[in-house]
Structure 1
Amino acid sequence: MTTTLEPVQLSAPAPRALVDRVLKMRELAILAVLVLMLTATQIDNSAFLSEQGVKDLLLNATILVLVAVGEAIVVITRNVDLSVGSVLGVSAFAAGSFLESGGNPVVAALIAVVLGAAFGALNGLLVSIGQVPALVVTLGTLYIIRGVDSIWVGSREITAGDLPSGFTSFGHDGLAFVPYLAVLAALVLVAVAYYLRSYRSGREFYALGSSPEAARLAGVAVRKRILTAYVACGALAGLAGALYLARFGNVDSGTGSGFELTVVSAVVVGGVAFTGGSGSVYGVALGALLLTSINSVLPSIGVSSVWVQAIDGILLLLAIAVDRVVALRVANVLRKRAAETRSARHG
């Protein structure tokens, strides 16, 4: 078996290697576009990359990075979570209500994380055990959570004046131009990336996304992995809700509305294939940083912010087109390998 496969491996690149190479190229391309865009903006507006300007860019990206990392875990398993915006909003208000009554900030953040994880578990159970399509489940929970949030919050609004000064200061302060929120997001990013790459259970998410049936035959606990992915996504959305409150010091019934579309865009633009099984959370972080930077760059050069959503949509379509090209290339490589294997066996 081994001797017949060696010539094939030499004559055609492995599909996995091809995908990895393309994804790395995409990450480098995102980084190059980001650097060029920021450099051009700095030339046009010398105050753009000041210490405060860089700090604002990182602060704006922090919330999106956290939620997008959680979303990426779900998408890697060939699923999706459209309820993350609603989870962020209700978690932020839960944390704010606790703080408003004199609660401890750390406990408030934990409440937000646990609440987010609970909603994630609900999504995961319906998708993994109920066998309901993820798009249907999370679209339904999006509206359910938003409805619960609207009933609970009503016309109430929590502002910075209702929160402990140390909590809101944490949302703005940092080490030189690097805010504490960005440091926290970076730690989460590195931890998730290390887990997905270095642990068998982490690699099983990719196996599940590549081929659910093959993963099941290989002994992967499919339902458990899907449930874990959704719980992690919900927990990170909950954490992002607490940090959103610290960052902006304001939350109401509309907080997080529509945010899920930006999150999905960041994930796909960052190189995670919507068909699952490939991608890196580092690429997702770059995608999130690119989208938030566009939101900051356009107004600074005098372009209407109305164009932001149009550009996000164009980037999303380009990313999907790249994924389609890669899928076709991989299918072609697989056909060639199968043909060469048959030829080697008959030769």
Structure 2
Amino acid sequence: MSTTTTRVEESRRRALSGGKRLVALVGRVRELGLIVVLLAIVALVGLQTPRFLTPGNFEQILLSIAILAIVAVGETMVILTRNVDLSVGSTVGMTAFVCADVLKNHPQTPVILIVLLGCALGAVLGAVNGLIVALGRVPAIVATLGTLYLYRGLDSYIAGGTQVSAYDVPDSFLSLATTHILGVPALIVFAAAIALIFAYLLRATRTGRELYALGSNPEAARLAGLRAERLIFLTFLLCGLLSGFAGVLWGARFATVDSGAATGLELQVIAAVVVGGVNIFGGSGTILGAMLGAIVLGTIDNALTLLKLSQFWLQAIDGAAILAAVTLDALITRWLQRRLRSGRQR
């Protein structure tokens, strides 16, 4: 290898390494910005209504976003691969009703089996999405928009206009949402544990690194030998599994479940993920960022309630947050591309 070629290769490696550091730095700045925004909201609302600053209210905020946060972990992995799952709300709703209905008709069923049933059903629904997108090569936004309505329709068919109420299910099922672990509500513990596990897997495992590589540059990833279809299928499968688990918790928390359960959850999940700095164009973002996004949106929701403002503002805020985050991601992506190109030319 000639000296000139060696220098070119070294220059490329330096540019690539610098690019990765730059992307990581931008991500940390986004997360730090979210923390600043969160603290500003807490301070402003706290001045208006001191009840907002009580430990009980902070616990209520975390409880309100715990189920959303679990689904957001799965959505994050899907979006990292330049895809999106719009069917998560329908998956949560179907698993919530099916699991509650099974307990209604078979109240002696162990709760652990109900949890496994919910996870299995969610995984199957996620696998259907994965097959359509990964093997069928159907754009994810089209495929999951279709399954959003398909799963909701199946849920309505199964429910047949009925609902399951709190008195129809055993207390052992409801305790999933009411019990405490070391003084912390179980829902918060479940969400935190899942976030930590998947954050570690994305950061420390080969598969996690491959997801980032696939999202950053799909063509280069394929040329490097990554099995893109398998990775995409895996993310949809895991997203479905986590949505299924969230569905079980939804049934336990809200007790009364019908075919309309979790309607609109997909908008809240996507808002939390993209506001949290997970690039809608794939390749960058963290579980921590998605959790911060969920907490910020949950805090805004709680503040609207305490300030006695219309909850219709929440949907407007979610929509505006998605538009702002996607626009910011597009600007950041273009800036990074320019910096990387200029680095390669040096």
For Structure 1 versus Structure 2, the TM-score category normalised by the shorter chain is over 0.9
Correspondence for 1:345: none
* 1:141 partner letter: T
Correspondence for 2:178: 172
Tell me if structure 1 keeps the 8 A contact 2:277–2:289: yes
CA deviation profile, 1:61-104 (whole Å, cap 9, x unmatched): 10110111101100001111111000000000111012222121
SS in 2 for 1:276: coil
Tell me if structure 2 keeps the 8 A contact 1:266–1:288: yes
SS in 2 for 1:189: helix
Query: 1: CA distance between counterparts of 2:328 and 2:138?
Result: 29
Correspondence for 2:49: 45
Tell me if structure 1 keeps the 8 A contact 2:15–2:344: no
- What stretches of structure 1 move > 6 A for 4+ residues in a row? 7-13
Match of 1:288 among 294, 313, 317: 294
**Aligned-residue offset at 1:5:** 5.9
**Aligned-residue offset at 1:327:** 1.0
Match of 1:71 among 75, 79, 100: 75
CA deviation profile, 1:268-315 (whole Å, cap 9, x unmatched): 111111111110011001101111111111120232212111122222
Match of 1:224 among 223, 226, 230: 230
Tell me whether 1:201 sits opposite 2:207 in the alignment.
yes
* 2:51 partner letter: A
Correspondence for 1:234: 240
Tell me if structure 2 keeps the 8 A contact 1:77–1:205: yes
Tell me whether 1:130 sits opposite 2:111 in the alignment.
no
Correspondence for 2:38: 34
Tell me if structure 2 keeps the 8 A contact 1:96–1:163: yes
**Alignment CA distance shift 1:177-1:31 (3 Å):** farther
Query: 2: CA distance between counterparts of 1:264 and 1:60?
Result: 16
SS in 2 for 1:171: helix
**Aligned-residue offset at 1:6:** 5.6
Correspondence for 1:302: 308
Count, aligned residues: 340
Identity level (%): 42
Query: 2: CA distance between counterparts of 1:180 and 1:288?
Result: 18
Query: 2: CA distance between counterparts of 1:176 and 1:188?
Result: 17
Query: 1: CA distance between counterparts of 2:59 and 2:182?
Result: 9
Query: 2: CA distance between counterparts of 1:212 and 1:10?
Result: 21
Match of 1:213 among 211, 215, 219: 219
**Aligned-residue offset at 1:40:** 2.6
Tell me whether 1:114 sits opposite 2:120 in the alignment.
yes
**Alignment CA distance shift 1:118-1:10 (3 Å):** closer
TM-score (norm: length of structure 2): 0.93
**Aligned-residue offset at 1:46:** 2.2
Structure 1 unaligned regions, length at least 5: 341-347
Query: 1: CA distance between counterparts of 2:181 and 2:122?
Result: 29
* 1:291 partner letter: L
Match of 1:85 among 81, 89, 93: 89
TM-score (norm: length of structure 1): 0.93
Structure 2 unaligned regions, length at least 5: none
Query: After the TM superposition, which residues 268-287 of structure 1 pair with which residues of structure 2 at under 5 Å, given as runs?
Result: 268-287=274-293
Correspondence for 1:20: 24
**RMSD value over aligned CA atoms?**
1.9
Tell me if structure 2 keeps the 8 A contact 1:52–1:177: no
**Alignment CA distance shift 1:8-1:206 (3 Å):** closer
Match of 2:150 among 144, 148, 172: 144
Tell me if structure 2 keeps the 8 A contact 1:269–1:319: yes
Query: 1: CA distance between counterparts of 2:86 and 2:277?
Result: 18
Tell me if structure 2 keeps the 8 A contact 1:51–1:177: no
